[in-house]
Every structure is written in C-alpha cells, then in structure tokens.
Copies of this chain bind each other. A is one copy, B any other.
Amino acid sequence: MNWMDLLLDLDGYSIIGTVAFAVSGYLLGVRKHLDLLGVVIVTLLTAIGGGIIRDMLVGRMPMVFLDNTNLVVIALTVLLAWLVRLHKRENEVLTKLFIIADSIGLVAFSLAGAKLGVEFHLNAFGVILLGFVTAVGGGIVRDMMVNDVPFILHKDFYGTVSIVVAALLFVLSRFGWDHLLAVQLVFVAGVALRLLAHWGE
C-alpha cells in the first residue's frame, strides 16, 4: 500500500471531477437566473462544498482554506465556460463529455472521502458517509438553497454508485488489499457502473 502514489493519481481524477462539478454548478446558477454572486456561490458549493462538509465532520480545517489548487481550477473552468457561452449551447458531444467527466468526479470524490475515513480508522458507516458527503454533499446543500428537493433523493443510481465505491474501498482496506492497482480497479468499475446506469435509464 502506497497512499502517496494513490493520492497523486486520485488527484488527477479529482481535478477532472472538480471541472465537471464546477460546470454543473455554473449551468444551474445561470439557468436559475441568479446574479453574479449567486452563480459564484452555487458553483463553489457544487465543486467544493462536499469537501468542506467532510472536513467539518472529521474536525479538521477545510483543505481548500489552505491550498489554492482547486480554486484556480474552478476559476479557470468558469471563466472558460463563460467565454464559450456554455449555458447557451446544447449538443450531443458536449453532453456526453459532461456526463463522463461528472462520473469521473463522482467516483474520484467518493474514493478521496472514503480514503480519509479509512485513515481515521472509522467504521463502515463513517467511511461510506465521508465518501458520499464528499461526492454529493455540496450538491445537496446547493439544491436545498435554491429550493429544489436534492437531486440525490430522486436520481437513484447516482448516490448509490458513491456508496458502492466507498464500501468497496472499506472492504479492501479491511483485508489490507487497498494498494494502488486495486483502488484503480474500483475507480474504473465505479465509473463504468455510473455510465451504464445513466445510459440504461
């Protein structure tokens, strides 16, 4: 087991996920006709809200308060989305790309949250909840703010993927099998599961 390698790798996926989540928050804010500050809040909540709630749960200073990487990624993403007027476009290739990036984000964030739970020696519930909250917590708060019933309460095979992936990481860690290759297999299987569920709906 070499968490360092894993971290480096998952970070790559996490950045793709951050991009996808920032885009999804940006589109929602614009389509709800929020003003500039509203769009910024909704975008940040979607992209980093889950990580902040996760850090609050385990009682550590939110990572995003100390490290600027994600913030720069989000700023560039939103700037680009705005420059290409993404909220006015709709085409199939773009939609597919977005779904794939969002699935990568979902699974990468779930694994990152679950990993933290494993490092804190939490029980299965704690590991799964941290994975779940990291991946979907920001979106839930966002939906609560703009008065939607959280998507997660209606979109069945989205949150479930997060739970399955985090549960697998927990099981792997209990058996000492959580080395890089195994985790990457879980990652690929999770993304495949989400995409199959999406296109099978």
Show the binding face of A for B, using Cβ within 8 Å: 34-38, 41-42, 52, 56-62, 64-68, 71, 117, 120, 122-123, 125-126, 129, 140, 144-150, 152-154, 156, 159-160, 163
Judge whether B37 and A117 touch: CB under 8 Å.
no
Name the residue of chain B whose CB is nearest to the CB of A143. Answer: B145
Cross-interface CB contact of A37 among B41, B140, B156, cutoff 8 Å: B156
Give the chain B neighbours of A147 by CB distance below 8 A: 147-149
CA distance A60 to B61 in the complex (A): 10
Contact partner of A123 (CB less than 8 A), chosen from B37, B65, B120, is: B65
Closest chain B CB from A119 CB (angstroms): 12
Q: List 22 A-B contacts (CB under 8 A).
A: A35-B153, A35-B156, A36-B156, A37-B160, A38-B152, A41-B159, A42-B153, A52-B57, A57-B62, A58-B61, A59-B59, A59-B60, A66-B122, A66-B126, A67-B123, A68-B125, A71-B123, A71-B125, A144-B145, A145-B150, A147-B148, A147-B149
Q: Is the CB of B34 within 8 A of A153?
A: yes
Docked pose: A184 CA to B34 CA in angstroms: 32
**Alpha-carbon distance between A156 and B38 when the two chains are bound, in angstroms:** 8
Assembled-state Cα–Cα distance A156/B34 (Å): 9
Contacts of A149 in B (CB 8 A): 145-147
- B122, A65: Cβ atoms closer than 8 Å: yes
A138 to chain B, nearest CB (A): 14
Specify which chain B residues have a CB less than 8 angstroms from the CB of A125 in the assembled complex: 64-65, 68, 71
Closest B residue to A140 by CB, please name it: B145
Report whether B153 and A41 are in contact in the complex, using a CB–CB cutoff of 8 Å: yes
**List of B residues within 8 angstroms of A36 by Cβ:** 156
